[in-house]
Structure 1
Amino acid sequence: MNIIQVNQSPIDVNSLITWLYESPTDGAVVTFMGKVRSFENQVISLTLEHYPEMTEKVLGNIINQARGRWAINRVAIVHRVGKIYANESIVFVGVSAAHRSDAFATTEFIMDILKNEAPFWKKEQTVSGQNWVKAKESDLNALKKWY
């Protein structure tokens, strides 16, 4: 079972965690929550753009890849788009599995692949203006452990 949501709404963490916990055969639930950070209070907001049909398809493909590697049950990926202010949540990934090792590995895998392959374009608003955010070397290097 999967939940994939890409929208402008704040992330309803409580309902997602409740859904992840509903599987009685799973002994592990691992979640990751990412937020917009402001280095030295310079970032005011991020504006995320995407191509909806493509984005949801890519997120579904990432989940399918994860299911081919680990024994997992429920997976939730919720990603916000639009204008998101510093310190607000931007992404949620949650995984339920019988065992914690599968849930932890899947959550890390999903985030590493999502950061590199999901078609999101980010424009950063800082105190000195706007700029498009480029891919980070550390995110690209994170892919090496999976491929």
Structure 2
Amino acid sequence: GASSQQQGLDVSCVFFPGTESELKVTAVKYSSEAADKISCTCPPLPAVGSLGRGILLIENEARHRSNRVELIFSPPIDIVGVEPPTGPTRGESLVVVRIAQNIQIQPEDHVFCVFGTQVTPASRLGPHTIQCYSPASVGLKSAGVNM
């Protein structure tokens, strides 16, 4: 788990197209989100669309392999504005993000705001507007916002 990762384990994620013989290391970036969860950053694809891939989590010498999962790749989102303009002043504050594209988000889609290294769920307010809440925080902090 991610909690043992904090004790010095070497963890990496590998995305592969199918069989072990075709294995290609395409991402090793990770972050722990909770004691029982690790989030891996998926590698970019040259085109928009979906692709079935497997995920292999390597934790020191242990290998944990997933079944094939369907990864959906969307065009990059261009952020054109954030409210409040200086970002949230306290934890669990509403943040509204304006984007250049007209975005269609289905209930089964997973859209997130990233505050520094913390990830929070996002939802669609309108065709060019996403809302999310900043993570709980104690004291003043500074962090960039991404989607």
Alignment TM-score, normalising by the size of structure 1: 0.25
Q: Which has the higher helix share?
A: 1
Q: Max radius of gyration: which structure?
A: 2
Q: Which has the higher contact order (CA 8 A, sep 6+)?
A: 1
Alignment TM-score, normalising by the size of structure 2: 0.25
